[in-house]
Amino acid sequence: MFAAFLANCLAGSTPIQLESGRFNQLSYSKPAEKFYEALPLGNGRIGALVFGGGNVERIILNESTMWSGSYYDADRADAFKNLPEIRRLLIEGKNKEAQALVQKTFVCQGPGSSYGNGKDGPFGCYQVFGKLQIEHEGQVEPSSLKLHLAQATAEIGNRAVAFASKPDEVFVYTSKEWNKAFMLSFDRGENCSITAQGDTISVRGQLNSGQKGVEGVRFAGEFRVVLEGGSVKAVGNKLHVNPTRGYTIIASLGTSMFDPNFEEKVRKQVNSASKKSSGDLFARHQAEFSKFYDRCSISLPSRGSESFKPTDQRLLENAKGVHDPTLAALYFNFGRYLMISASRPDSPLPMNLQGIWAEELQTPWNGDFHLNINLQMNYWPAEVTGLGDCAKPLFEFTKKMVPNGSKTAKAYYNAPGWVAHWATNPWFFTSPGEDASWGSTGSCGAWLSAHMWDHYAFTGDKKFLKDAYPTMKGAAEFFLSMLIKEPKHGWLVTAPSNSPENSFRLGNDSLTTCMGPTIDNQIVRELFTNVVNSAKVLGQDSEFAKKLESTIPQLAPTRLGPDGRIMEWLEPYEEPEPKHRHVSHLYGLHPAFEIDVDKTPELAEGARKTLARRGDDGTGWSLAWKINFWARLRDGEHALLQLNKLLRPTGSEGFNYSNGGGTYKNLFDAHPPFQIDGNFGATAGIAEMLMQSQPDQILLLPALPNAWAAEGEVKGFRARGGLKVDFKWKDGKIVSHKVTGKGAGKVKVRGPGL
């Protein structure tokens, strides 16, 4: 139906041919019943989930700035006065007392995130925009569903297609040759008014700010029906549509978060799009999307016709041990598709925990921006897959955190520079969290800064680096000021801090507050190194760079414990939860390069033992991280084992922090519940299995599993140094490769057969 639709829409031009279903198509024999079965569409700001259906069809709509809450001052202005006592207790080994004092004096002011239930509080919550519903008159057969990744288009049975257009900033649902009457309605449950007039449903509303006297985010939506023949009329707050031929539903959405003229813009967008044919809308959409999607591709060995089965069936068969490499390629492409759909260069916000797709008013963990890995993981595949410009919202967001982060640095540490803790929102919340057990993680701003250096490392864009440098320098200034000497070795460490969300046993107590967790030491060492290198590239700040260079050797090193594993804390504490989902002390293995098979073999072996102790299960995003770990250790079989665990089909709706990770029918990552970082982490992991780049070398097929060895091809990978890499392999050996870009002749390329 899709090809016929395009031929009809684009009469007089050459019909667009579909890509192979193995690599670029999700397909299902029946409509979606639940959120995590629906097909995601997006243009970087507007998101949609298409369910299909029979007599009733649902479409969930999202807008990336649809946030309740508002700015509030969460800093305790004199918190720094308690810092010396907290540190004294930590130095004396009285972590329990230190943690109690942190909880009493060193957490945020007010409710913070309300423990992930901040919908009606000042921290706020990312919320669904609402739900469109199409109720057909008479009997309609349930629809099959297909998501065409290369065209960013959903196909609903033999009756309609849908897409989210960036050029026209609208969601489009269009049907050709459909003459069955239906009722169109919209619902969101609260905080909105709905009116219908003529051919349009209009929505206006305002979300709860969480504070008396403070205006919340206002929003507007217009949903218009354009007929090729027939009639449409308002019935209450719904539209009764009686098409004699085809019809198109056009949706425009907006909020006041960054645009005081949002209502006028919403009206203009729906008016403008309504004057274009569905074929014109599609052609503009597809041409723009392909500029991103076509930059990169991978090909893995095929299982023939088995690779064309419905996606949910492929997941089930893969879980039974009938592994299909083309499913991994499809998952890789789906990850790239999600990034393009949720994060364009001009997106107003970076991707949150659910990208831009949510069905609730109270999304899990507020659908916020978790900074102790999750937001960063969302952007791991950006550079290597040629989508570095899609990470621009992350860079802009990081820069905008600096003013509030500077205030927090003064309030809690009496330090210059800026700091960000465990999570944030669109109002740049940078205070510690409301609970000492996880809220004191303070290296998050430094981790975000690493993405800025990485973008320069991949692109060589000095203009970008010059713009990013003050943010990176500010993060370094903070740590240069706040580090203290631990008593046993005299190393410089952070205090207080956490190893993200994990605990250790001290005596009979399970505690989290500590000095110098390994992840902090690794992140600070990486930050200082990146800032030193940035200063040299830009030819500035030589004195500051020298100060950082002299400090780096004083930072606590990454060490092996008595059992040969990488130590997570300064002491080899017993772990209450040996299989914990976070493996933060291996930050130096990935995403950083501190632990390396060639350069630090002892630490690499310690990392292997660490992963063996942690086990091969975990939440979705944790499994994704482990793919990257094993790829960096050049163990393709173990990396594939983790990928196949991630691809386990699940329908779990509850919260599971240990062995519940897997993949939903629509390929969304299951934490569970849905959390999109696992999709992006695994996409990055597949890339790491096929290529790894450092400033001085490119490794091809560093972690190729036997199941992928027969033959394959990569086009358009990016490597550090502003390089583009294409290569092919057969029987596990490179048969051709091409590296292009300035400096291509200076980098060493290694791989089997070279």
Q: Does the CA dihedral 476-480-482-485 come out positive or negative?
A: positive
- 50 and 38 in contact (C-beta within 8 Å)? yes
Please indicate, yes or no, whether residues 135 and 283 belong to a single structural domain of this protein.
yes
CATH code for the domain of 224: 2.70.98.50
Please indicate, yes or no, whether residues 208 and 248 belong to a single structural domain of this protein.
yes
Q: Which residue has the tokens 């659908």?
A: 367
User: In the chain, what percentage of residues exceed pLDDT 70?
Assistant: 97
pLDDT at 17: 36
The residues, any chain, with a CB within 8 Å of residue 523's CB and separated by 6 or more, are 443, 446, 447, 450, 587, 592
State pLDDT tens for residues 282-341.
999 999 999 999 999 999 998 777 778 999 999 999 999 888 899 999 999 999 999 999
Please indicate, yes or no, whether residues 529 and 441 belong to a single structural domain of this protein.
yes
The residues, any chain, with a CB within 8 Å of residue 92's CB and separated by 6 or more, are none
Instruction: Please say if the pLDDT value at position 6 is more than 70.
Output: no
- 668 and 679 in contact (C-beta within 8 Å)? yes
CATH code for the domain of 408: 1.50.10.10
Tokens of 49: 């989930």
CA dihedral 721, 722, 724, 729 (to 10 degrees): 10
Domains in the chain, number: 3
Instruction: Look at residue 19 and tell me if it is in a domain.
Output: yes
Please indicate, yes or no, whether residues 197 and 98 belong to a single structural domain of this protein.
no
The residues, any chain, with a CB within 8 Å of residue 111's CB and separated by 6 or more, are 118, 121, 122, 123, 434
User: In the chain, what percentage of residues exceed pLDDT 90?
Assistant: 91
Instruction: Look at residue 326 and tell me if it is in a domain.
Output: no
Please indicate, yes or no, whether residues 596 and 552 belong to a single structural domain of this protein.
yes
| Burial 464-503, CB ≥16 within 10 A → b, else e | bbeebbebbbbbbbbbbebbbebeeeebbbbbbbbbbbbb
Please indicate, yes or no, whether residues 261 and 405 belong to a single structural domain of this protein.
no
Instruction: Look at residue 373 and tell me if it is in a domain.
Output: no
Nearest to 517 by CA among 421, 454, 443, 578: 443
pLDDT at 16: 31
Instruction: Look at residue 287 and tell me if it is in a domain.
Output: yes
The average pLDDT across 419-446 equals 97
- 216 and 192 in contact (C-beta within 8 Å)? no
State pLDDT tens for residues 462-479.
999 999 999 999 999 999
Instruction: Look at residue 517 and tell me if it is in a domain.
Output: yes
Please indicate, yes or no, whether residues 422 and 497 belong to a single structural domain of this protein.
yes
Strands 697-700 and 748-750, sheet pairing: parallel
CA distance 679 to 691: 19
Please indicate, yes or no, whether residues 59 and 97 belong to a single structural domain of this protein.
no
Please indicate, yes or no, whether residues 9 and 33 belong to a single structural domain of this protein.
yes
State pLDDT tens for residues 16-58.
333 445 689 999 999 999 999 999 999 999 999 999 999 999 9
Please indicate, yes or no, whether residues 92 and 219 belong to a single structural domain of this protein.
no
Please indicate, yes or no, whether residues 423 and 498 belong to a single structural domain of this protein.
yes
Single out the residue in 294, 325, 340 at which a domain terminates: 294
CA distance 587 to 591: 6
The residues, any chain, with a CB within 8 Å of residue 626's CB and separated by 6 or more, are 583, 611, 614, 616, 618, 642
The average pLDDT across 564-570 equals 98
- 478 and 419 in contact (C-beta within 8 Å)? yes
The residues, any chain, with a CB within 8 Å of residue 68's CB and separated by 6 or more, are 118, 119, 120, 124, 125, 127, 207, 208, 209, 210, 216, 217
Single out the residue in 563, 595, 613 at which a domain terminates: 613
Cα 373 to Cα 116, 233, 380, 389, 591: the distances in Å are 16, 50, 10, 20, 10
Tokens of 467: 């713009």
Please indicate, yes or no, whether residues 135 and 218 belong to a single structural domain of this protein.
yes
pLDDT at 477: 98
State pLDDT tens for residues 62-96.
999 999 999 999 999 999 999 999 999 999 999 99
pLDDT at 307: 77
- 543 and 570 in contact (C-beta within 8 Å)? no
- Which residues sit opposite 62 in a β-bridge? 47
Tokens of 133: 């519903």
Instruction: Look at residue 355 and tell me if it is in a domain.
Output: no
Instruction: Look at residue 333 and tell me if it is in a domain.
Output: no
CA distance 561 to 610: 10
Instruction: Look at residue 359 and tell me if it is in a domain.
Output: no
Which has more confidence, 245 or 197? 197
Single out the residue in 253, 274, 294 at which a domain terminates: 294
Instruction: Please say if the pLDDT value at position 7 is more than 70.
Output: no
Q: φ and ψ at 72, to 5 degrees? A: -145, 150
Query: To 10 degrees, what angle do helices 325-342 and 677-690 make?
Result: 130
Instruction: Please say if the pLDDT value at position 11 is more than 60.
Output: no
How many Cα atoms occupy the beta-carbon half-sphere of 224 within 13 Å? 18
Domain that holds residue 718: 706-750
